[in-house]
Chain A
Amino acid sequence: MILRAEGLRVVYGPIVALDEFNLAVGGRAAALLGPNGAGKSSFLRAVLGLVPPAAGRIEVLGVDAGLRPLEVRRRVGYMPERDAILPAANAVAALTYLARISGLFPPDARRRAHEALDFVGLAEQRYRLLSTLSQGTRQRFRLAAAIVHDPDLVLLDEPTNGLDPPGRREMLVLVRKIADLGIHVLLCTHLLPDVEATCEEVVVIDRGRVRLTGNIEELKRMAGTRTFAVRVAGDEAGFRREAASLGLALADRGREGIHVTTPDGAGSSAVFRAAAAGGAVVSRLTEVRRSLEDVFLESLRDPSPPSSAG
């Protein structure tokens, strides 16, 4: 297991940021998904030991973060959400410094600084003062800072924040490349397309608690309500009447036909039953796959205890 939290509670004075926070992440690239203020950044800071938890424990790469925070920080890379640079330093000098703090010897640190800058596409700007770089370039620098010491896990807090569309796309490609290199990635974001583009696993959190966790594809296929795009021939009114009596939810979708949502476990047979009873024939039926957005929104609406898949 890459990351495990049990009964975690983080408070800032009277404000409870995380409460009864239980989490287990094991995949190569996972996302911590939640609306603004859900507690994503607080969790990352607790993982790094920057914020001491009021209760509970965190285990990172098999190391207890509460007992050995320095060991955790040695093996973890962190890209903060907010703008953070080193004053009066160019990109290479700053990365060399950060790599040395992470324990690398000076020659190795310098070489890794160049490699990391090349990786994120800042080869041309390596000798420019950080304070003179643009927002997008600084974002890349922070990504390079997160990987310069060859971590086993990188925590990326809203890496695409404030980037223009091409910059955002390039950043997501870099995140995917990092995962492909064998570095575990935990991406914190509220942007669903970012998660779908880079991660296999997702943890949905809201108001300091985990709402849902699991493999993205399995979550989309998870048992529960299913939606079908249906076209019927014959008595459509009869079909609608019978479908309503069987508890199916209908929605007109123009050229797609009628979207029929079946209750838990009913499946497509309920659609056929409604058609037969109403004097209609199903001429076309395709399942409408749930998007991650649907899963996300459902999990935020759902007041039931956290569930998991995969």
Chain B
Amino acid sequence: MPVYDLTYRRANLPRRKEGAFAPVFDQSLRYGFRSRWTKGIFIASWLPALVYCSMIYIRNGFAGGGRGRDVNAGFDLGLDWYHVFFQIEEIWLLVLACAVGAGLLAEDRRANALELLFARPLTRLEYLAGKAAALVSILFAVTGLPAVVVWLFDVLVAPDWSRLRETWDWPIRFVAFGLVLAAATSLVVLALSAVAKSGRYAAVYFAILFFLSLPVSAILALITGQRAVRALGYQASVNAVGKELFGLFPRPNEPPFAPALVVLLGAAAASAAVAWARTRPSEVVK
């Protein structure tokens, strides 16, 4: 008798009752970290968090820190610093969104994988939700999560608990902004991935949107004289929402919160509709 029989035969195996969201989510995460490059980019995206932690440590240890002293004597690590931190992470967000998200739908469509997948008990909603959830998780892990870790480090190395008392609500703001960034970016990238012929094209489209929408919206704002038009810039609108969540005032050249939120919600809804329409089970891409 063989130690392990690999002969194919009928087997009445137990079946999962719930839907197929989990396998799609799992597989999309694996796809995201399929190469050393994406793993390297992910690790590199945590470097700003390391730098921030070092700054906090140095401030507390050498620049006037210690029990009973004013830790902010060197510099005040306030919410505006964290907002800058998010702006730095937005570059990594762009890189990871292109490296991971751009191919999520485009490569499946290109390889005719949809015909294999949707011949199984998988709904379009489960498929798209699994893909989106995986991308949101990865992008949140380079935006909201490092910010929370930096804050945690800040609280842990603080000389007393006053830092925790003063800043207890910050992680909620970080998580909220991280989710806004990750969700908005994920939906836009997935929509571009659904319309592009390959992941590379989708990455190029997103990079163009990321870099060109800001100057174009600035020019349009100059022409129209309307500050709200600046919300058409992708980075400008997400940062405006971030400033509102952080309780910071927008600069004169930044869009107000309300139009920025409308633009983000509109972009998210339109992206979701595009991704839905382009993920047809019966479509065969030649």
Contact = CB atoms under 8 A, between A and B. Distances in A.
A182 interface: yes
Given A108-B14, A147-B8, A88 B115 contact: no
A104 interface: yes
B121 A86 contact: no
A82 B120 contact: no
B111 interface: yes
A150 B10 contact: yes
B16 A104 contact: yes
Nearest to B31: A88
Given A73-B119, A82-B284, A101 B112 contact: no
A183 interface: yes
Contact of A84 (B14, B107, B113, B282): B113
A102 B120 contact: yes
B20 A82 contact: no
Nearest to B8: A119
Given A82-B284, A118-B8, A150-B11, A102 B121 contact: yes
A80 interface: yes
B165 interface: no
B282 A50 contact: yes
Interface residues of A, number: 44
A114 interface: yes
Interface in B228-286: 281-282, 284
A292 B108 CA distance: 40
B110 A87 contact: yes
A114 B112 contact: no
Contacts of A18: none
B23 interface: yes
Interface in B94-148: 103, 107-108, 110-113, 115-123
Given A114-B6, A118-B6, A118-B8, A150 B13 contact: yes
Interface in A71-111: 71, 73-74, 76, 78, 80, 82-89, 93, 97-98, 100-105, 108
Contacts of A203: none
B30 interface: yes
B27 interface: yes
With most chain B CB atoms within 10 A of its CB, the pick from A70, A82, A86, A149 is A86
Given A100-B23, A145-B116, A105 B16 contact: yes
B9 interface: yes
B224 interface: no
Given A88-B31, A112-B13, A80 B8 contact: no
Nearest to B106: A87
Interface residues of B, number: 39
Contacts of A73: 119-122
Interface majority SS (helix, strand, loop, mixed), chain B: loop
Contacts of A101: 20, 23-24, 117, 120-122
Contacts of B111: 84-87, 131
Contacts of A78: 116, 119
B7 interface: yes
B119 A48 contact: yes
Nearest to A12: B282
A308 B92 CA distance: 66
A200 interface: no
Contacts of A70: 121, 123
A51 interface: yes
Contact of B121 (A50, A74, A80, A131): A74
Contacts of A86: 108, 111, 113, 116
A85 B115 CA distance: 9
Nearest to A129: B34
A290 interface: no
Nearest to A103: B15
A142 interface: yes
B34 A50 contact: no
A116 interface: yes
With most chain B CB atoms within 10 A of its CB, the pick from A98, A108, A182 is A98
Interface in B1-43: 6-16, 20, 22-24, 26-27, 30-31, 34
A185 to B, nearest CB: 14
Contacts of A149: 120
B242 to A, nearest CB: 33
A217 interface: no
B212 to A, nearest CB: 28
A149 B123 CA distance: 17
Nearest to A146: B119
Interface of A: 45, 48, 50-51, 70-71, 73-74, 76, 78, 80, 82-89, 93, 97-98, 100-105, 108, 112, 114-116, 118-119, 131, 142, 145, 147, 149-150, 181-183
8 contacts: A51-B282, A70-B121, A74-B120, A76-B119, A87-B107, A105-B13, A108-B13, A181-B10
Given A101-B20, A104-B15, A108-B14, 14 more contacts: A76-B119, A78-B119, A80-B116, A84-B113, A84-B115, A85-B112, A87-B108, A97-B23, A100-B23, A100-B26, A102-B121, A131-B111, A150-B13, A181-B9
Interface of B: 6-16, 20, 22-24, 26-27, 30-31, 34, 103, 107-108, 110-113, 115-123, 281-282, 284
Q: Which 9 A-B pairs give the minimum distances between C-beta atoms?
A: A119-B8, A84-B112, A78-B119, A100-B23, A87-B107, A103-B15, A70-B121, A115-B8, A50-B282
